[in-house]
Amino acid sequence: MIPDIITVTWKELREMFVQGDPRGRSKMSLVLLVIIFGIVLPLQNGRDWVSSPISIMVWGWMPFLWVSGIVADSFAGERERHTLESLLSTRLSDHAILIGKILSALLYGCILTWVNLLVSLITVNVAFGHGEILLFSLPLSIGAISFSILVSGLAASVGVLVSLRSGSVRQAQQLMSFGMLALFIPLMLVQFLPLTVRQSLIRDADKINPTQVVLWIAVGLLILDCILTAICMYLFQRSKLILD
Amino acid sequence: MYAIRTENLIRSFGKLKAVDGLSLEVPTGTVFGFIGPNGSGKTTTIRLLLGLLDPDGGKAEVLGFDTVIQPDQIRARCGALLEYNGLYERLSAEDNLDYYGRIWQMSKSERETRIHQLLAPLDLFDRRKEPIGLWSRGMKQKLAVARTLMHRPNLIFLDEPTAGLDPVASAALREDLKSLAQREGVTIFLTTHNLADAEKLCSRVGVINHGQLLAIGSPEELRSSTSAPRLYLTGKFPQQAIEQIRANPLVKKIEVDSNSLILDLTDLGRSHEIVTLLVRSEAELDEVRKEKADLEEVFLSLVEEERQVGK
């Protein structure tokens, strides 16, 4: 099954990165992402970019946004462009198709994150190095890499699940946007809490060991990724997809 | 040896019986045309044969494999060009074929050779690097046929391959299909409502309507079984000659126009008797032409017959 998964992933990544749409819009948006996250933000943040724990928030959230932007297309797009039935009539197994789709979205998030990490490191060194070589701190490097994988995996499995059940790419994208909003609302609501409550929250947060928190979040994400992938596998039925 | 064999195959969608007791045998190596109007059950039959849908009743075997128990074995040995061409428009022609070659686990060199082998005769090889999104419909359809043959399948399903093409593109694709089928030696199961396709490409034809098989046989057999052979005559025909013809037992039906006669005969081999009779009755003949009904007439008469029975 592994060669089949690689085949599906190869095609997906080729569509995302190499060929894209004939007008080159997808390539332009990729370049724009690298300009923002690889050049503009590091220039604004200076040396803190490679040492501040805030950076981990960027590398943790951004893959989710990037993957969400493309993953809605995975099945809904194939259905909309009438390529799904041809794909389903090949020798590929259900699992190979599904895992190939999830893996390609995950790799898309990871590749973009890692390219941006690298470009941002070069930017910081060129702009603020002054002869010294600046590197990401070890916890930040490990955190950024592991979070990019886990968060991309989360967005990929949620996106594929939504895309499987959606009639069109637009519908899948709307559902993904609502989901993202639901994730952000609790964070936004924090600012409406009374000042005393917020202060006590900050005091409590200071007492927590950050490494432990990051580890727990990582484990939680891993479990969530596995559960969502299992749900996708359960819901993937050729005959249902054909009739939809 | 049969490539496809179905027995009382049934598939319904709610109250609609899309395939209704279909029993069919397609010998290996033939080009089989499955003709029927829109919504007659052709596409559902292909989906059932590929194991993409399970039947509600009956059974089907494709290349000796059961469609319900062994759909993977069937899909591994078949190629399919379904209702839509299923091509990835953002990819180049080469990448589209390469993808399907990879799916069927062909090696890199095998894929390269095969892409050349398939695209060169279709005049598409030089344009293989272009994204196909900007190609004409006819070119895409040719590429889709090539993709179907990429892994050298034993059997290919073509669902309305010339649908939506203009007459020139349609004729060109038909020629390509014909030569590809001869060169590759595959069994072809072709659905169409284009009767010219069926007539020119198929050695056997099945007519389906409302999910039921109305007739099956070679186009020649269908023509002879469903309609009488015809004799077209032009010239001047005195009333006496027309009466004598009308009374002749060889003549099933007569259509009289000012300068022509169209006769449905029981036996076209004895048409000379009619001509002799007319000459003796002082008819002045300009032209005599023998003709059998074309597949379109056969098809229309079968559908009409079914409609009458339904009433």
CB contacts < 8 A (A, B) = 80
Query: What ipTM goes with this model?
Result: 0.81
Q: Which residues of chain A lie closer than 8 angstroms to B52, CB-CB?
A: 85, 88-89, 238-239, 242
Instruction: Report the alpha-carbon distance of residue A204 to residue A198 in Å, rounded.
Output: 10
Q: Which residues of chain A lie closer than 8 angstroms to B76, CB-CB?
A: 91
Mean pLDDT of B204-230: 81
* A101 against A179, higher pLDDT: A101
Let me know: does A150 contact A221? Beta carbons within 8 Å. Answer: yes
pTM for the whole structure: 0.80
Mean pLDDT of B193-199: 77
Let me know: does A78 contact A8? Beta carbons within 8 Å. Answer: no
Question: For position A1, what pLDDT does the model report?
Answer: 84
**CA of A1: how far to CAs of A91, A122, A153, A208, in Å?**
11, 39, 20, 43
Mean pLDDT of A91-114: 93
Nearest Cβ partner of B50 from A19, A21, A89? Answer: A89
Nearest Cβ partner of B82 from A11, A85, A239? Answer: A85
Using pLDDT thresholds of 50, 70 and 90, give the confidence band for residue A20.
Answer: low
CB pair distance less than 8 Å for B50 and A3: no
Mean residue pLDDT across chain B: 86
CB pair distance less than 8 Å for B90 and A3: no
> What is the helix (H) or strand (E) element at residue B164, kind and residue range?
none
Instruction: Report the alpha-carbon distance of residue A59 to residue A114 in Å, rounded.
Output: 9
Residues 6+ apart with CB under 8 A from A212: none
Mutate to test the interface with B, among A4, A21, A86, A92 (most CBs of B within 10 A): A86
Mean pLDDT of B116-143: 88
Nearest-CA residue of chain B relative to A237? B52
Mean residue pLDDT across chain A: 85
